[in-house]
Structure 1
């Protein structure tokens, strides 16, 4: 089996699962928060994004992708294939990275479009971010958090979905709490 065939099989396995729905629904939840925040949407979004929504979404996407194969018979159907497990896990990782990139792209589109929609109703942003800076921020955050996906694969495979989400959130919240200490400066 070629790598593209394995990649397509992994993509098709996630076609009607929670993996794809989570990748699309999370940016929409952040966009709904814009209604409450109004003029501060662009500024506050990135704080909420990388501290809460990004780790939770990446952990949930990874955990649901791993748990697709853990059905009634476990991994029996996959282990009998004439393909190495490394190729299967690599293609699963690429599919999840694609969904994570979709999540980041939808979020950047929301950050660009929501202030425009607000301006139609007379609500102006306190500080408008440029389109280039928004896409650069999304790319930097995505690249610096890609390590979380294989980490979430391992944790969700060994310990479960809830523990995977809790560990990822604890890592990010600890970074926020440590930033408040004087030795981080």
Structure 2
């Protein structure tokens, strides 16, 4: 597995995909510095990140990983080798997980440093929790975006994933059925962690949205979905052997 991940990582050398890992969080921090600098810098950075910047960046990262093999070569270089295509697919998932992790760390460092420059609105422990939670709750979108890019292309996948994240956050994140809509889970859990609504407004005390009991179910659901989608999409990719 590590060899497959390392191979996929080498393919990204000098590509926009690799630059996007640090570019996306930096753009998020700069936007929030210019528009929301001050007491709301930290919470606003997280809001902008999980609603707009992260969904778009993650989709483009996954698309970049797929297109290195699929756009021009049509996977001929892989199909000509005696390798398990499922393992190749898991390697692609693994490298995307690594890219998401690095990007999340960069954002965390920037938000933490911003707390010393501006007024701090999120504690260090809260920032660590928010970073880890967003990382975990977005994992399931990796196999989905890889699969969709492989089947319908980058632009269609970008539109679907962006609409899914934005629309479901607006419609379901604060509703009672948030747990049934995977796209709404990150925003719902973040309400309890950073105590700010997706629209940027502070949550009043005693509001049910502050209930931290949603964190564990949210993590369990998204991790389970990540595992299921990883297996199902790997099985689908393996069938290319017969083509």
What band does the TM-score fall into relative to the shorter chain?
0.7 to 0.9
Q: Please state how far the C-alpha of 1:41 moved relative to its aligned partner.
A: 0.8
> d(CA) in 2 for partners of 1:137 and 1:26?
17
The structure 2 residue matched to 1:33, chosen from 31, 34, 39, is: 31
Contact 1:97 1:149 in 2 (8 A): yes
TM alignment of 1:35-184, pairs within 5 A: 35-36=33-34, 37-39=36-38, 40-116=40-116, 118=117, 124-125=118-119, 127-179=120-172
> Which residues of structure 2 form unaligned runs of 5+?
178-207, 209-243
Which residue is equivalent to 1:9? Answer: 7
Q: Aligned pair in 2 of structure 1 residues 72, 111: CA closer, same or farther (>3 Å)?
A: same
TM-score (norm 1): 0.88
CA–CA distance in structure 2, aligned partners of residues 142 and 35 of structure 1: 23
Higher mean C-alpha deviation, range 77-86 or range 171-180: 171-180
Distance 1:180 1:95, change over 3 A: closer
Q: 1:131 to 1:72 in 2, by over 3 A?
A: same
**Distance in 1 between residues matched to 2:57 and 2:135, nearest whole Å:** 12
Q: Which has the higher contact order (CA 8 A, sep 6+)?
A: 1
Is contact 2:5-2:95 (8 Å) kept? yes
Q: Distance in 1 between matches of 2:164 and 2:71?
A: 29
**Distance in structure 2 (CA, Å) of the matches to 1:46 and 1:109:** 12
Please say if residues 24 and 57 of structure 2, whose CA atoms lie closer than 8 Å, have aligned partners that are also in contact.
yes
Does the Cα contact within 8 Å between 1:34 and 1:114 map onto a contact in 2? no
RMSD: 1.9
